[in-house]
Structure 1
């Protein structure tokens, strides 16, 4: 990854410095955020990479299909129990922001995985302050008088759950919603985002969750439920996680979760997106009658249903066969 020195960036003529050009807004997500390919295709979107080290091998999580396929191929279809994520520190974040946004943008939103489970939010916050100072100085030297803003926002969620506010933000920007209204609407979506996690291997999920400070899966559950092939459904919301249901096997867990999501879609969501990310081949999801019912409900209510490969970071933490599903809506009467 190329890194720009702020002083060289300010002096360089390679970047746009036309003070009369239209205002432009950038979106940054960290690589653990599961979003649709169409979201990533925008030139105004950047992904903060997350290096993942397993043994002597380092993988770069950055929503690259070939890197994800390699990780799955070399790690038992996604297993990384001994893996260690090595997120960028503040100085590296600052260089990343300078490289991608320097003089071309007047506003940047950076959405991160929940601060309660990862240091990425803190590093991005400190890095943005360093980068903003250098960017403003560079803009002043280029005669750009327009104000510059860099906002780092905690999604208070993970994986598919971080994807919901990111995709809503892109919708708001494309609809040309005034900047003064975006922050409030984005916070409303963050507060209402429900993410459900269905790990396929309880022992693996418990080991990895404890690395993140998550205690929602107990040892007793692992020993008893593992023997009975019980799959928990864990809810992630507003920076916390808790188990909400136990199901007999994968098919039952998925069917009940998809049915809950379909009911929520029919009741009405706060945002027209449902995201499902899966740590395995997406064809595993096909053939589920409950998924087809969810797909039909989404089509009827003009909600986009996104079936996505899980990020490498998500796969490493949830384990092979794990699934996350997220939407933004009211929390009343959500029952399994």
Structure 2
């Protein structure tokens, strides 16, 4: 059986121990801050410092996440992947949110062609096989799609079977909920990107009454589905909703993924999280909590909270 490397970009908010257990390797993003570039590799130890450097108290939005271009992806794969295995599956952040999927798709032919000599020198025969899959999700939603796809691949499923599972079943079932903390950051970032997710009027009202939107992303569509009195109330409502879905048996796969652009102990200390953890454990559902990737956090601000599950017909959010 050919060896298969499982790859995911740095926007995939899987905990480090889960990535290690599933043998998932990270494809970096680049963070551009003025004339400086740093790599976003999902280094969990470095993320608290990066939050402080690029998010906390900053409203100038001088930093942005930039995907590697085709030639850079080829070089990364040639240096780190092609001589260690016979094939790889790269799961990317939603193509509607980043150009990485397009760049990676464009890098397939060049990577395969340039890998021949490296593979021969490493004692491997045959062409390298690279499959690129658009997860259609970001952050914790991407994490769940990648987790399930990686489990399938490690169990022996072919790249074609994995791709079909993502594109026909998993991708459309990914629901992500986001609760921002810094409204001014979210407003100015959305304005920079030409998005209407939060208008000046909504920002002013939210600031005046301490309201935070609960944002829902599903099948590429993003909308504010509720308002909460403060970000902590928003997090509580999202976690209570997830707990209702667990109790109702709504989940397509027994896992929930959460992320936070701040100290994870702040989330763990919440009674709603502790209740969700107990319910998940009693129903055989894995609850994962990870630092929010810098690539995602740069778009939503410090102390933003995200949660995702996979479900075809989930309990309505209340």
When normalised by structure 1's length, the TM-score is 0.85
How many residues end up aligned between the 2 structures? 315
Q: What is the CA–CA distance in structure 1 between the aligned matches of 2:279 and 2:103, rounded to whole Å?
A: 40
Change (3 A) 1:265 1:34: same
Q: What is the CA–CA distance in structure 1 between the aligned matches of 2:92 and 2:117, rounded to whole Å?
A: 26
Change (3 A) 1:179 1:78: farther
**SS of 2:89's equivalent?**
strand
Whether 1:276 and 2:255 are equivalent positions in the alignment is no
Q: What is the CA–CA distance in structure 2 between the aligned matches of 1:122 and 1:210, rounded to whole Å?
A: 25
Map of 1:139-288 to 2, 5 A cutoff? 148-187=128-167, 188-212=169-193, 214-268=195-249, 269-288=251-270
Whether 1:51 and 2:27 are equivalent positions in the alignment is no
Whether 1:74 and 2:53 are equivalent positions in the alignment is yes
Whether 1:134 and 2:117 are equivalent positions in the alignment is no
**SS of 2:279's equivalent?**
helix
User: Contact 2:54–2:63 (CA<8 Å) still a contact in 1?
Assistant: no
User: Contact 1:266–1:297 (CA<8 Å) still a contact in 2?
Assistant: yes
Change (3 A) 1:39 1:128: farther
Q: What do residues 150-184 of structure 1 show as CA deviations (whole Å, max 9, x unaligned)?
A: 11111111111111111112221233345553222
User: Contact 1:59–1:71 (CA<8 Å) still a contact in 2?
Assistant: no
**RMSD (Å) for aligned C-alpha atoms:** 2.4
Change (3 A) 1:104 1:59: closer
User: Contact 2:256–2:307 (CA<8 Å) still a contact in 1?
Assistant: yes
User: Contact 2:183–2:212 (CA<8 Å) still a contact in 1?
Assistant: yes
Change (3 A) 1:78 1:39: farther
User: Looking at CA atoms only, which structure, 1 or 2, has the larger radius of gyration?
Assistant: 1
1:41 counterpart (20, 35, 43): 20
Q: Which runs of 5 or more structure 1 residues have no equivalent in the other structure?
A: 1-21
Q: What is the CA–CA distance in structure 2 between the aligned matches of 1:59 and 1:145, rounded to whole Å?
A: 36
1:144 deviates by 5.3
Q: Which residue of 1 aligns with 2:68?
A: 88
**SS of 1:295's equivalent?**
helix
Whether 1:27 and 2:27 are equivalent positions in the alignment is no
1:255 deviates by 1.2
